[in-house]
A and B are shown apart, each in its own frame.
Chain A
Amino acid sequence: MSGYEKELLRLAVVGSVDDGKSTLIGRLLFECGGLFEDQVASVKKATAKRAAEHLGRGLQELVGTADPEALDFSLFTDGLRAEREQGITIDVAYRYFSSGKRKIIVADTPGHLQYTRNMATGASTADAAVILVDARLGVLPQTRRHAYLSALLGIPYLAVAVNKMDLVGFDPEVFARIGSELGDFCRSLGFEQVRLFPVSASGGDNVTRASARTPWHQDGTLLGWLESLPHQRRLDQAPLRFPVQYVLRPHLDYRGFAGQVVSGRVSVGDELLALPSGRRTRVTAIDTFEGQLAQASSPQSVALRLSDEIDVGRGDLLVHPDQAPLSLRRLEARLVWFGERPLNTGHRYLIKHSTQTVSARFEQVLGRLELEDLSEVPADSLALNDIGRVRLSTARPLLCDRYRDNRHTGAFIVIDPASNDTVAAGMILEAVQEVGGQEGSLVTAEQRAQRLGHQAAVVLLPTGTAPSVVQRLEQGLIERGLLAAIARDPETASALAGAGLIALVAPGSPAMLRGFQDVLRGSASLELRPPNDPERWVGELSAALELRS
């Protein structure tokens, strides 16, 4: 063993121009030995050169001490400023450093208002975020925005670095004011942990070393915090999700399903459900280059062998039968729009979710986030860097989870097939929801669902499903504690679902099915595969609709 096996932490650092983000990251890299001597030497030279230029222009106050050993830490990573001047795309940059037991990957994201896209990119994989605040300026709308976006993208840990404390004389009052202003707001966003640090990035106070100039601060250093964060192991306790990525078929006697255990764990002998086919199978082997494993857990990349010759391919999902994911064709999602062209509800897009790519349409924009005050306002479309809520429908069901339950199976990207560009990032909120609510009622769909323990739905069965089968499904659901009823026309189905029930409908002909679809447009109907095995069918539907406690 090399003694170099560290824990990995992904960190997003966000700040507005001139808050000191480059300086802070440069300081972290430098003090953690993430920089090489030749890089340090060249920054030393550049620092001196800049000082000389300032002196030449009579800008003594910008120089500080004329120390030939002085380092302008911002120059280690700076590049953005120059690019901005040259009009080049501002982008996320990645930096790397190690501390005692952690390797840290820093997503260096410019946080200016119009760079929502960059921040979303950097935040999408981050375990923790550091937001910079200039102590002299205090909490700005921008700061709230950064915190809000970090929470939206599901980052559990947040640190606010109140920077340039040297310029306010390390005044504890200033720090406390910012803390009280921001603390409550951040806590309301649902982070698992929020911390504030009084720092001077240029002076090195409370970055990696506790500062003698802030004796009133007992909460340690930023680096100490990064090292103390719980190691990210939450997803290996979550339900198993194994999206099949690629089928290995070196010869006729071997068929391995290659993929990454994106959450949970899987063992040899486990019974698995293959979706969307609904077939059950068993794991006979977990293969890796090093040999077979008895168990694999998130985020290992392995190959599974299964007991039956079932038809499984890329895009399919393997799960444990009692932990089925949602299967949604119509859903509500939050989007961060990246495209130069605004979202077009008449346009067909592609959605890449896990390992499948499906065709999709955005039916409706439900609202747009007003970045100034973080309120939601009505909107018809979303433009570059807008964040909004949409309702969409996909050509095939997405086997997914809510983003807040699983960052892997709850996320997708949107691709414009005309340009092949990635035009948006999406986070799954829930199945389309207005079923279960009734016009003119004060009781919400949520309250009904809470009372009944499951969500409402209109379930469209394939045309020609025999009445006796429909009856068995209804009975099965009731026995499992779900309130179901059979409806013969769309209006009844809507009314039942409006009251919180699960309405089962089996149109007698394709024409009738279309009639149902027309009337039910805009409500959450589920279309399911034929109930060949009613018991399993009931189990899967229940899993999709039951509220998780």
Chain B
Amino acid sequence: MTSPPSHLDLLEAESIHILRETVAELANPVMLYSIGKDSQVLLHLARKAFHPAPLPFPLLHVDTGWKFREMYSFRDQFVAQHRLRLLIHRNEAALASGINPFDHTSQKYTHAVKTQPLLEALKLHGFDAAFGGARRDEEKSRAKERVFSFRDSQGQWDPRRQRPELWSLFNGRVDAGESMRVFPLSNWTELDVWHYVLRERIPVVPLYFAAPRPVIERSGTLLMVDDERMRLRPGEQPSLRRVRFRTLGCYPLSGAIDSSATTVEAVIAEMQEARQSERQGRLIDHDEEGSMELKKREGYF
């Protein structure tokens, strides 16, 4: 039986090629693990790429301290079951100083609990490559991102230093202190990811499936009250609604959608009907896009 390879087969082969190239060319890679569906798919591909050997790199979870409780329990159970090496890094100083997603702008918050600790951790362990699960279809600005995205010794991205990528020949050369972000899922779409989760039976956090959850509605977004730290505004009263999440992050910043999809098939069916982009539910992005608009406008007028 030699049916032609499907696009999922080809995407898989390409991703495995990228994972292996990175490990072969860079000295000390790490995989960023965010517990979301993209991370799960990436991890699954990595296990395939190096089978029957164990993963030749550890996982790194940059923990903001504000993820959903179900994400933490899923992470711990999954990592134990597959005997994965997981590093957890938090910006304890920032968290101790009271940085939180309520009082601080998303930019400041993101910088303090995500960007900064990530750079710290990469430096601390001397990682010269970090795999990420980002896809080019996520938003316009990612459409040009390279598979091997070069970062200078400050961890900064400089558009002029990005290398052209032809065929499947990736240039992974870095000098001391410099590093690569590597995105093996670049050519996958959200729908591809879900179909692959289905085909390969990849476990994902139950938050992706509809269940009655305590939520409030705030300026058109459904937010889940995951623990007592959620700050309610006057008049806000959590109520149980059947919701699920399309993307997962910090719970006070992740919007839920009304849904009755309790299986991967049902999620896919809903996705194909209700056509909102997945970033819609991410408060952080709205904020960033808004401020981007603002900057542009300041430049124009």
Q: Is the CB of A125 within 8 A of B167?
A: yes
Contact residues, B166-198 vs A (CB, 8 A)? 166-169, 171, 173-175, 186-187, 189, 191-192, 195, 198
Contact with B along A124-146 (1 / 0, CB 8 A): 11000000000000000000000
Q: Which residues of A contact B280 (CB under 8 A)?
A: 36, 38
Q: B167: which of A102, A233, A301, A407 is its contact (CB, 8 Å)?
A: A407
Q: Which residues of A contact B174 (CB under 8 A)?
A: 420
Q: Which residues of A contact B21 (CB under 8 A)?
A: 245, 355
Q: Is the CB of A338 within 8 A of B164?
A: yes
A95 to B140, CA, bound (A): 9
A47 to B249, CA, bound (A): 33
Q: Is the CB of B144 within 8 A of A352?
A: no
User: With A95-B143, A250-B52 known to touch, is A7 a contact of B165 (CB < 8 Å)?
Assistant: no
Q: Is the CB of A96 within 8 A of B164?
A: no
B94 to chain A, nearest CB (A): 32
Tell whether B13 is near chain A: CB-to-CB under 8 Å: yes
Q: Is the CB of A287 within 8 A of B7?
A: no
Tell whether A84 is near chain B: CB-to-CB under 8 Å: no
Tell whether A120 is near chain B: CB-to-CB under 8 Å: yes
Q: Which residues of A contact B140 (CB under 8 A)?
A: 77, 79
B27 to chain A, nearest CB (A): 14
Q: DSSP class of A's interface residues: helix, strand, loop or mixed?
A: mixed
Q: Is the CB of B277 within 8 A of A297?
A: no
Contact residues, A374-422 vs B (CB, 8 A)? 407-408, 411-413, 415, 417, 420-422
Q: Which residues of B contact A117 (CB under 8 A)?
A: 164
Tell whether B5 is near chain A: CB-to-CB under 8 Å: yes
Tell whether B206 is near chain A: CB-to-CB under 8 Å: no
User: With A8-B7, A96-B136, A258-B20 known to touch, is A420 a contact of B275 (CB < 8 Å)?
Assistant: no
Contact with A along B103-145 (1 / 0, CB 8 A): 0000000000000000000000000000000001100110110
Q: Is the CB of A258 within 8 A of B49?
A: yes
Contact with B along A300-324 (1 / 0, CB 8 A): 1101000000000010000000000
Tell whether B23 is near chain A: CB-to-CB under 8 Å: yes
Contact with B along A320-364 (1 / 0, CB 8 A): 000000000000000000100000000000101101000000000
Tell whether A121 is near chain B: CB-to-CB under 8 Å: yes
A14 to chain B, nearest CB (A): 16
Q: A254: which of B52, B159, B162, B191 is its contact (CB, 8 Å)?
A: B52
Q: Is the CB of B173 within 8 A of A8?
A: no
Q: Smallest CB-CB separation from B16: which chain A residue?
A: A301
Tell whether A216 is near chain B: CB-to-CB under 8 Å: no
Q: Smallest CB-CB separation from B48: which chain A residue?
A: A289
A259 to B19, CA, bound (A): 11
Q: Which residues of A contact B192 (CB under 8 A)?
A: 103
Q: Is the CB of B53 within 8 A of A124?
A: no
Q: Is the CB of A37 within 8 A of B275?
A: yes
Interface residues on B, range: 35 or more
A: number of interface residues (CB 8 Å): 72
Q: Is the CB of B54 within 8 A of A91?
A: no
Tell whether B163 is near chain A: CB-to-CB under 8 Å: yes
B285 to chain A, nearest CB (A): 11
Q: Which residues of B contact A299 (CB under 8 A)?
A: 5, 10, 13-14
Tell whether B50 is near chain A: CB-to-CB under 8 Å: yes
Contact with A along B1-37 (1 / 0, CB 8 A): 0101111111111101100110110000000000000
User: With A8-B11, A94-B136 known to touch, is A420 a contact of B5 (CB < 8 Å)?
Assistant: no
Q: B186: which of A94, A98, A300 is its contact (CB, 8 Å)?
A: A94
Q: B51: which of A288, A407, A413 is its contact (CB, 8 Å)?
A: A288
Tell whether A256 is near chain B: CB-to-CB under 8 Å: yes
Q: Is the CB of A36 within 8 A of B277?
A: yes
B245 to chain A, nearest CB (A): 16
Q: Which residues of B contact A93 (CB under 8 A)?
A: 143-144
Tell whether B47 is near chain A: CB-to-CB under 8 Å: yes
Q: Which residues of B contact A89 (CB under 8 A)?
A: 159-160, 162
Tell whether A105 is near chain B: CB-to-CB under 8 Å: yes
Q: Smallest CB-CB separation from B163: which chain A residue?
A: A422
Q: Is the CB of A4 within 8 A of B275?
A: no
Tell whether A514 is near chain B: CB-to-CB under 8 Å: no
A233 to chain B, nearest CB (A): 6
Contact with A along B240-259 (1 / 0, CB 8 A): 00000000000000000000
Q: Which residues of B contact A (CB under 8 A)?
A: 2, 4-14, 16-17, 20-21, 23-24, 47-54, 136-137, 140-141, 143-144, 159-169, 171, 173-175, 186-187, 189, 191-192, 195, 198-199, 265, 268, 274-277, 280, 296
Please name 17 further chain A to chain B contacts, defined as beta carbons within 8 Å, in addition to the given A36-B276, A95-B143, A301-B49, sorted by A numbering: A8-B6, A37-B274, A37-B276, A82-B296, A94-B186, A96-B187, A121-B164, A124-B166, A125-B166, A231-B4, A248-B53, A254-B52, A260-B17, A299-B10, A352-B169, A421-B161, A422-B165
What are 19 A-B pairs at a CB distance below 8 A?
A: A8-B11, A36-B275, A94-B136, A95-B137, A95-B143, A120-B164, A124-B167, A245-B24, A246-B24, A258-B49, A287-B52, A350-B173, A353-B169, A408-B168, A411-B167, A411-B169, A421-B161, A421-B171, A422-B165
Q: Which residues of A contact B (CB under 8 A)?
A: 1-2, 4-8, 33, 35-39, 77, 79, 82, 88-89, 91-96, 98, 102-103, 105, 108, 117-118, 120-121, 124-125, 231, 233, 245-246, 248-250, 254, 256, 258-260, 287-289, 297, 299-301, 303, 314, 338, 350, 352-353, 355, 407-408, 411-413, 415, 417, 420-422, 425
